[in-house]
Chain A
Amino acid sequence: EAGVAQSPRYKIIEKRQSVAFWCNPISGHATLYWYQQILGQGPKLLIQFQNNGVVDDSQLPKDRFSAERLKGVDSTLKIQPAKLEDSAVYLCASSLIAGVTDTQYFGPGTRLTVL
């Protein structure tokens, strides 16, 4: 079974530029998550999708971050404009449903460096 795919793996940009990350979840997984992991910390949830609808985006800085999952499969996360503090690894995860005990499977992440 193929895992969660993410691209690019690395991205370096200057502050105030924009950037986009792509995620393809495990086939058949209805729920998709984007996490931000700052160096030395645990991942923090940014947004959760159930199919193509947003379930939770309470932690997403909506003035600069946006995400979509138009067809309920793959998803993109965008930052515009980027700030220095956005430097982090952006992880995508998926699960079959969104139940309490449903395992979330993570992709390898995109490491973003903002200069």
Chain B
Amino acid sequence: GESVGLHLPTLSVQEGDNSIINCAYSNSASDYFIWYKQESGKGPQFIIDIRSNMDKRQGQRVTVLLNKTVKHLSLQIAATQPGDSAVYFCAENKGGKLIFGQGTELSVKP
């Protein structure tokens, strides 16, 4: 079965607010995780990744946090914009094979 899952299927935020999307995983041996963004009618697009030897990694307006104790990771988007509206997936990379969760749909209200 799948080893990654997401807490909420949908998330609605006001434009300019920060967004937090959560993901839980079950395999404590997992050592590499990726966040993908998928807009309607498009393929998933790489956002940011993190290895298990890190707790936090920052990109442009995005931060991924990894809590290995509770097997949880989150994606934080600062100053959310309408263009951030999409489905967000966390994925676990097992030896080059991606295992995706079900996704969270982020809606940004103007």
Residues of A within 8 Å of B97, CB to CB, are 45, 48, 56
1/0 per residue B88-110: CB within 8 Å of A? 01010101111111110000000
| 30 residue pairs from A and B, CB less than 8 Å apart | A4-B43, A31-B96, A40-B102, A41-B100, A41-B103, A42-B2, A42-B103, A43-B100, A45-B97, A45-B98, A45-B99, A48-B96, A48-B97, A91-B43, A98-B96, A99-B96, A100-B32, A100-B93, A100-B95, A101-B32, A101-B51, A101-B93, A103-B34, A104-B98, A107-B43, A108-B41, A108-B42, A108-B43, A109-B42, A109-B43
With A42-B101, A48-B97 known, 14 other A-B pairs at CB within 8 A are: A31-B96, A33-B98, A42-B102, A43-B44, A43-B89, A43-B100, A95-B96, A100-B95, A101-B51, A103-B34, A104-B46, A106-B43, A106-B44, A107-B43
